[in-house]
Amino acid sequence: MALMPPALRPACWALWAALRTGDDLIDSTDGDATERAARLSRWTDALEADLRRGTSDDPVRLAVVDTVLRWGLDPEGIFSSFDTVREDAAGRRLETWAEWSSWVRSTNMSWAEQCRTLLDRAGVAMPLRWEQIEGFSRFLDGMYLTDTLVDLPTDLERGDLLVPMAELARFDVAPDDVLGRRWTPELRALVGELTARARGWLDQPGLTAGLHPVPAILLRTTTGLFHARLRAVERSGAALLRRTPRVSAVAQWRVLAPARARAAVAWRLVPISAPPPAAGALTGASAEARPGSGRGGSDGHSGTDGHGGTAGRPGGARPVLPPKPHPSGARPPLIDADRMPGHVAVIADGNGRWATERGLPRHEGHRAGAAALRDIVHGALEIGLGHLTVYAFSTENWRRPAGEVSELFRTMCAELAEDELFDHDVRLCWAGRPDNLPTELVEVLEHRQRTTQDRSGLTFTLCVNYGGRAELADAAGELARAAVAGEIAPAQVSEHLFARHLPRPQLPDVDLLWRTGGDHRISNFLPWQSSYAELHFTDEYWPQVDRRDLWRAVTAYTARQRRLGAAPTTEPEPAEQH
């Protein structure tokens, strides 16, 4: 903390407090494993709800909400690290070093990533993710192995032994001997080996190569402090089984004092920019206007009246621009707010046929399709649509020739890298799995998602590597996990609970599902959310459509009578619906 620039310390403390809360809830001696896991789930559920509201009544969660919103952090990593911590409630037995490393990384990497993102957002260029930096994952292992050694006495008190079983066997050490705190020659040899291993992992020669000089000071200092802890472990001898080894204040100061002096001077030379507080987070006013918090929600022409209020967020320093008008001069229809669909989902089909009919390669069709999509987004902004979801690549589309797929991904990357859409009041969400997608595509999707998350105009969900059945299977898996963990009982599983366990629980039901290209099928698109959607099929290929087709689809929708299972009303006139 002392080495971080002062402007970043509140955010670091907030993250530390969240991490510490998770650990404390799981490590507490109050209640059995199921109760402790449930307590952590309640806390993370509350955090999730607070993040949606934009504020919290709990001081730690309020600090986290403010930090996440202010700096535009992606809370997914935090939640997945809590998922791993939750599984630790019942104690953990790790068999091999590979298992050990993957557990360590899934618990810790995301916190390191949050700190890196903070630095990067504050203007300290750190463009590579930690896991892309050679040796960082091993360095993290070294820190955690040191922790494991230092924490040995407290872990043993709880009956936990976090050294891989295969390593114990290799040194002929019986787990019961360690748990029974018997200091044998074999155990001494094992501790010697673990200390040497931790030392080797901490000393990653290339770690700071190419890194910004100030974070490099931070890493080198951390290495120094962890070496001091390892020396304290070595000095403990048999006492390691009963008493936490401590680094003396003098030894600690010897490493820290020069580093603090160096960092303080260095930070003065680096301009640090900190964003202002997120609206509402510190005042306690809830961010009601955040999309996804309710259904429907159109205020007529929210896109044009510029009340988006997203300026000042990281990545959104520029004010959002109003939508661009259509080149033909066409103006949006006036749609009665009460009859406006809240969520329009589109199967944008026909790119390939459009290209083939013009003697062009199929990927030219995808490029033309991307241009059509841009116009549709402007048209959606112009009518104040709340949610637009577009099917861009299905899990079944992997059956296409590799060349077409890679060209399509290239087009997507280029489109997402362009600011053209993101200068407007568009919040991008990505639905789908990262598996097998090019890293650059995953990164640009995540980046846009992160930096536009506080926009309040149109929520534009792009389905890339999306499959409806896969999404349902994921929800079922998540429910099964929660049931096995004792967080829910099978009898509690309702439609509502199921929907909350979908990978994108914020996505509202689809009101209008539109498919272009002449085919009349759903092709595994949003089966849960579209179960009561009004269907609209048109024959034009996707590259031929523009915002006027969207407006026609929406206008046609306003005349539909949605009964949702009820008996027909005698008077179907829209006016009667008011």
Residue 100 contacts which entry, Mg ion, ligand IPE, none (Cβ below 5-8 A, type-dependent) = none
Query: By CB under 5 A, is residue 363 in contact with Mg ion?
Result: no
397: contact with ligand IPE by CB under 6 A? yes
357 three-state secondary structure: helix
Q: Is 351 in the site for ligand IPE (CB under 6 A)?
A: yes
Residue 176 is among the residues annotated as catalytic for this protein: no
Give one DSSP letter per residue of 205-236, joined into a string.
Answer: TTTTTTS-HHHHHHHHHHHHHHHHHHHHHHHH
CB of 555 to ligand IPE, least distance (A): 23
DSSP-assigned states of every residue in 465-533? EE-HHHHHHHHHHHHHHHHHTTSS-GGG--HHHHHHTSS-TTPPPPSEEEE-SS----TT--TTTTTTP
* Residue 125 amino acid letter: A
Which of these segments, 216-224, 343-351, 400-408, 545-553, binds Mg ion (CB under 5 A)? 343-351
How many other CB atoms are there within 10 angstroms of residue 321's CB atom?
A: 15
- Tell me if 521 contacts ligand IPE by CB under 6 A: yes
Nearer to Mg ion, 74 or 349 (CB): 349
Residue 312's identity, in one-letter code, is G
Comparing CB distances to Mg ion, the nearer of 136 and 542 is 542
In order of 157, 183, 246, 306, the CA distances from 187 in angstroms are 17, 6, 20, 68
Choose, from 27, 397, 423, 474, the residue flagged as catalytic.
Answer: 397
**Backbone dihedral angles phi then psi of residue 139, each to the nearest 5 degrees:** -60, -45
Smaller CB separation from ligand IPE, 280 or 365:
365
- Select the span of 85-93, 390-398, 490-498, 558-566 touching ligand IPE (CB under 6 A): 390-398
Q: Does 20 bind ligand IPE (CB under 6 A)?
A: no
Q: Which is nearer to ligand IPE, 78 or 355 (CB)?
A: 355
Residue nearest to ligand IPE (CB): 352
One residue of 11, 348, 376, 428 binding ligand IPE per CB under 6 A? 348
Active site residue 454: no
d(CA 521, CA 535): 10
For the chain, count helices (H), then strands (E): 19, 6
Report CA torsion sign: 265, 266, 269, 273.
negative
State yes or no: residue 349 binds Mg ion (CB under 5 A).
Answer: yes
Of 308 and 350, CB closest to ligand IPE: 350
Alpha-carbon Rg for the chain, nearest whole angstrom, is 27
Using CB under 6 A as the binding rule, whether residue 545 contacts ligand IPE is answered as: no
Task: Look up residue 132 and give its two tokens.
Answer: 């892309």
- Count the Cβ atoms, other than its own, within 10 Å of residue 201: 21
Amino acid identity at 75? P
For residue 319, the 8-state DSSP code is P
Identify which of residues 87 and 349 has a Cβ nearer to Mg ion in the complex: 349
Distance CA 119, CA 113 (A): 10
Can residue 392 be called a binding residue for ligand IPE (CB under 6 A)?
yes
**Sequence ranges of the binding site:** 349-354, 362, 366, 394-396, 398, 400, 515, 521-523, 534
Q: Which entry of 349, 454, 509, 549 is annotated as an active-site residue? A: 349
- Give the one residue of 220, 231, 353, 410 binding ligand IPE; rule: CB under 6 A: 353
Residues between 402 and 441 that touch ligand IPE (CB under 6 A): 408
| List of residues contacting ligand IPE (CB under 6 A) | 347-353, 391-394, 396-397, 408, 517, 519, 521, 523
